[in-house]
């Protein structure tokens, strides 16, 4: 049992990922747990949708398999709670239900479901859908390592790294600067640095810049070295003294 009361399947030396199953049918959960564990997945299960958001935050699953018909908090509400958190935008959710009507499917997709499997279903179909969802997500994840989530009026949007001139860190959030615009970033400077964006370098505790956007550099004073960026304002950004030689070398490569 986990701290939240969820059961975790047996750990393996080489896990293919973690799958969270939310269903009040104990027999079904047991069967899916055995199937997925044998396929190399770590399985976490909940009998109710009441704590699904907390469980997702703690276990960080690669996929959620969510039943619709559950007491107290049903699958629709559980799905809404998952999608309330922007950090779960890329988390795939498969809905399981006895209601296979078109209206029910449309409702699920509207709330943010990625797939919909009507009960009863075959083991073969379930396994194929799990594999397809995870394969699609991993492929999308590879693409989005070069994209940064930002705050927009319509919700979370993504800015391509190729459009970013520099990234400014302010406390635990960031500003993403393009040629002539600025966006509030959803990631901290450290989180963005961990993405290892191609062609970018953290040149100061508060700045990451795209190196091929640097148009020049100079000593602003005996102790202040700055680079000039190719945005609309010709912004100058400071460079940490210990990084000056490295920055010069990277820029002239």
Separation of alpha carbons 75 and 52, rounded Å: 10
Sheet hosting strand 93-97, strand order edge to edge:
7-8, 42-46, 18-22, 63-67, 93-97, 115-118
104 and 223 co-located in one domain: no
82 and 99 co-located in one domain: yes
Residue 13: per-residue pLDDT? 37
207 and 223 co-located in one domain: yes
68 and 16 co-located in one domain: yes
User: Strand, coil or helix: what is 207?
Assistant: strand
User: Strand, coil or helix: what is 216?
Assistant: strand
The number of folded domains in the chain is: 2
Separation of alpha carbons 79 and 33, rounded Å: 21
- pLDDT, one tens digit per residue, over 175-185 is 999 999 999 99
Per-residue pLDDT band for 136 (boundaries 50, 70, 90) equals: confident
Residue 141: per-residue pLDDT? 53
- pLDDT, one tens digit per residue, over 221-232 is 988 999 999 999
Choice between 181 and 110, residue whose per-residue pLDDT is larger: 181
Question: Which tokens belong to 79?
Answer: 């799905």
Residue 3: per-residue pLDDT? 35
Separation of alpha carbons 55 and 128, rounded Å: 25
CA-nearest of 207, 216, 193, 199 to 243 is 207
Cis peptide before 35 (omega within 30 of 0): no
- pLDDT, one tens digit per residue, over 179-222 is 999 999 988 999 999 888 889 999 999 999 999 999 999 999 98
41 and 158 co-located in one domain: no
Question: Which tokens belong to 151?
Answer: 């705050």
CA atoms within 13 A on the CB side of 196: 1
CA-nearest of 41, 69, 56 to 6 is 56
User: Does residue 234 lie within any of the structural domains?
Assistant: yes
Residue 11: per-residue pLDDT? 38
User: Does residue 2 lie within any of the structural domains?
Assistant: no
Q: Is 156 a residue whose pLDDT tops 60?
A: yes
Q: Is 157 a residue whose pLDDT tops 90?
A: no
Per the CB < 8 A criterion, the answer to whether 181 and 232 are in contact is no
The bridge status of strand 93-97 relative to strand 63-67 is parallel
37 and 125 co-located in one domain: yes
Residue 140: per-residue pLDDT? 58
Residue 85: per-residue pLDDT? 86
49 and 67 co-located in one domain: yes
Within the chain, where are the H helices? 26-38, 52-59, 75-84, 102-111, 123-144, 189-194, 244-251
16 and 132 co-located in one domain: yes
Residue 87: per-residue pLDDT? 79
130 and 200 co-located in one domain: no
- 102 burial via Cβ count (<10 Å: 0-12, 13-18, 19+): exposed
CATH number at residue 157: 2.40.50.1020
Per-residue pLDDT band for 144 (boundaries 50, 70, 90) equals: low
> What count of other Cβ atoms lies within 10 Å of the Cβ of residue 129?
18
Choice between 142 and 2, residue whose per-residue pLDDT is larger: 142
CA-nearest of 48, 50, 38, 52 to 123 is 38
Residue 222: per-residue pLDDT? 87
Q: Tell me the CA distances in angstroms from 223 to 102, 226, 249, 250, one per residue in order.
A: 67, 10, 19, 20
Per the CB < 8 A criterion, the answer to whether 54 and 77 are in contact is no
17 and 138 co-located in one domain: yes
156 and 122 co-located in one domain: no
- pLDDT, one tens digit per residue, over 4-31 is 344 343 333 346 789 999 999 999 999 9
CATH number at residue 111: 3.40.50.2300
User: Does residue 1 lie within any of the structural domains?
Assistant: no
Residue 79: per-residue pLDDT? 93
- pLDDT, one tens digit per residue, over 38-82 is 988 999 999 988 999 999 988 889 999 999 998 889 899 999 999
Domain of 11 in residue numbering reads as: 7-144
């Amino acid at each position: 049992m986990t701290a939240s009361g969820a059961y975790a399947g047996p750990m393996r030396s080489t896990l293919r990922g973690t799958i969270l199953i939310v269903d009040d049918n104990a027999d079904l959960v047991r069967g899916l747990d055995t199937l997925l564990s044998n396929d190399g997945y770590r399985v976490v299960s909940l009998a109710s949708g009441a704590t699904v958001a907390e469980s997702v935050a703690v276990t960080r699953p690669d996929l959620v398999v969510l039943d619709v018909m559950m007491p107290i908090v049903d699958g629709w509400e559980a799905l809404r709670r998952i999608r309330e958190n922007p950090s779960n935008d890329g988390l795939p959710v498969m809905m399981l239900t006895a209601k296979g009507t078109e209206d029910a499917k449309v409702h699920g997709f509207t709330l943010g479901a990625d797939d919909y499997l009507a009960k009863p279903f075959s083991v073969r179909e379930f396994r194929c859908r799990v594999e397809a969802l995870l394969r699609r997500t991993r492929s999308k994840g590879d693409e989005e390592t070069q994209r940064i989530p930002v705050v927009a009026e319509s919700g979370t949007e993504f800015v391509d790294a190729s459009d970013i001139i520099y990234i400014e860190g302010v406390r635990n959030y960031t500003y993403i600067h393009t040629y002539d615009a600025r966006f509030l970033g959803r990631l901290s400077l450290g989180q963005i640095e961990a993405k290892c964006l191609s062609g970018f370098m953290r040149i100061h505790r508060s700045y990451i810049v795209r190196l091929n956007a640097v148009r020049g550099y100079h000593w602003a004073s005996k102790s202040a070295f700055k680079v000039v960026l190719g945005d609309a304002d010709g912004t100058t950004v400071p460079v940490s003294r210990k990084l000056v030689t490295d920055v010069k070398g990277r820029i002239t490569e």
